[in-house]
Structures are given as C-alpha cells and as structure tokens.
Copies of this chain bind each other. A is one copy, B any other.
Amino acid sequence: MFQKALENVKSHKPLVHTITNLVSINDCANILLACGASPIMAENELEVEEIAANSDGLVLNTGTPSVQKFTAMLKAGLAANHAGIPVVLDPVGVGASSFRRENICRLLKKIHFSAIRCNQSELFTLSEGVSAEKGVDTTLTGLSLEHTALLARKFAGQHQTVVAVTGKVDIITDGKRIAVIKNGSPVLARITGAGCMLSALTGAFCASNPDLFTAVAAAVGLVGLCGERAEQNMYLKHTGSGSFRVCLIDEVSLISPVELQGGIRVEYL
C-alpha cells in the first residue's frame, strides 16, 4: 500500500507547485526532487493561476507570510480547485499572529484542501480559534494522543480533508479512519523545515495517488522513517544536526518503495 504510493510518485513524477516560506524553500525543492517529483516555486499573483493550472499538485505553506503571498495563495488555490488537482495546506505559525490566523481562516473558507499538515498546537488553534503556540514549533498543549486524534478527526470531517498532525507520534485522519504512525526522530525537531518538507512531499503523494488517506500516511511515514535512518547515520558518523538535515534528503533519495513498506510502523485506531 505504502510501497505502491511511493512507486506512483516515482513513475508519475508530479509537478508540484509550491508556495512556501523563505526559510525552507530550498529544502522543499530538494526533497521533492529527491523523491522523484518535480518542484516549481512561484508566488507572484500574476503567474500563479497559470502555473497551478499546469501543475499536478499545489502546496500552500504560510511561513514568512505577506499580503501579496496570501493573495497569490488564494488565486493559486482557486485555480487548483478549478483544475481538479490536490491542494495541501501547511498552516505554519497560525497561532503566532492574528495576521496569519485571519488569512489562513480565509484560505480554509475559500479553498478545498485535499490535505492539511500541521503540528498539535496549530491544529488546536485552527480548531478552537485560540493560540496555543509560542513561535512556530510544537508546544505542549496538554492534549493526549486520543484527544488530539478526535480533534483532528472532527476537523477533517468538517473540512472534508485529510489531516496529518505530526509530533512525537503522527496522526492521520480523513474524518473517519485514524492512522497512528510511530516512526520519526527527535532530531527532526532540531532542524528547521522538517514539517515544511513533509508538507511538500504530501503534495507529491496526493498528486500521484487516488486514495488521499494512504497518500498522506505514506508521506508522513517516509519522512519519519528517513528521519530514523538519518539519526542512525548521525550517531554512527559522530556528526550533528547539520549533517542530519543533509542525510534526511539523502535517505529520501535512496529509499525504495519496498523499504518504505517494510519500515512504516502504523496502527489504526
């Protein structure tokens, strides 16, 4: 199932239009190429509709936002919806400012998302309308795994989307089914852009696979498993977080569909 999902990315080579933040834009492009997809980065409102309409998937990431970028995201999202290609949202830092909160809510109202990839505090902000964040990284919201899964399932149902909430344990839900993935590495939280890269890959998997629930779970499992491998490599070679980041992209470029299938530790609630 996960094997087939990755095989489909590699054979389909989807063109993924990515509007993302200034911090991780290079990492997102490189990890898309590493898994066999093709990135196009374009964020000007004068060209995003044309580019989204010619792409196989669209990813909207709200880090380092501006009025212009939110306008471009809205135009690209509507064009993608019209073209029938999947759209993925990564609501980076939705609780960090009212500017982000308001604009992300507007995107959620106007665009249909195939998938939303966030962390626990971002889910909480999106669901409850109040901020549980300090900065853009996950903070303790005091939610248990079960509570988070139920919140995510409800939110997914409301928005007719697949929600992936990543953290120590990753939850994927389409509003009915709930998958819990236990791959991952604590070092993923010590590099910037791990979540952004996962969201970019989620766009590639959604663009290449008919079942979005499996597509999102495969992307989440891929980053978790490659994170584990990069962590092992880091300890073996006595390197640190800089090498871990490079190695994460190496592992995504090296892993085979069969290895992905064998390595994902998934349970269904």
Chain B residue numbers with a CB within 8 Å of A38 are: 134-135, 137
| A135–B246 alpha-carbon span in the complex (Å) | 25
Decide: B253 and A249 in contact? CB cutoff 8 A. no
Which of A90-98, A164-172, A259-267 is the contact stretch? A90-98
The interface residues of chain B lying within 8 Å CB-to-CB of A33 are: 190-192, 241
Residues of B within 8 A of A63 (CB): 41
Residues from chain B with a CB closer than 8 A to the CB of A137 are 38
- A183 located at the interface, meaning its Cβ lies under 8 Å from any Cβ of chain B in the complex: no
Binds B, one of A44-52, A105-113, A153-161, A217-225: A44-52
The reply on A15 being an interface residue by CB < 8 A is: yes
A240-B250, A243-B246, A249-B240 as given contacts; A97 in contact with B51, CB under 8 Å: yes
CB distance from A60 to the nearest CB of B (A): 15
Q: Interface size class for chain A?
A: 35 or more
Question: Are B253's CB and A97's CB within 8 A?
Answer: no
A149 to chain B, nearest CB (A): 26
Which residues of B lie under 8 Å from residue A46 when comparing CB positions?
67, 97, 99
Smallest CB gap from A39: residue in B = B192
User: Which residues on the B side are within 8 Å of A242 (C-beta)?
Assistant: 30, 34, 245-250, 253
* A246 surroundings in chain B (CB, below 8 A): 242-243, 245-246
Q: Are B254 and A29 in contact (CB-based, < 8 A)?
A: no
Q: Which residues of B contact A39 (CB under 8 A)?
A: 135, 192
Q: A192-B29, A241-B250 are in contact. Are A44 and B65 (CB under 8 A)?
A: yes
User: Assuming A26-B193, A34-B240, A190-B34, is B47 touching A100 (CB within 8 A)?
Assistant: yes
Interface string of A22-37 (1 = CB under 8 A from B): 1111110110011000
Q: Does A181 contact B (CB under 8 A)?
A: no
Is the C-beta of A64 less than 8 angstroms from some C-beta in chain B? Answer: yes
Q: What's the Cα separation between A247 and B135 when bound, in Å?
A: 27
| Chain A 153-201 residues near chain B, CB threshold 8 A | 190-193
Could you show 12 A-B contacts with beta carbons less than 8 Å apart? A15-B135, A22-B22, A30-B242, A33-B190, A33-B191, A34-B242, A44-B65, A47-B98, A47-B99, A241-B250, A242-B249, A246-B246
Which 8 A/B pairs are nearest by Cβ-Cβ distance? A242-B249, A240-B250, A47-B97, A240-B253, A29-B192, A47-B99, A241-B253, A242-B246
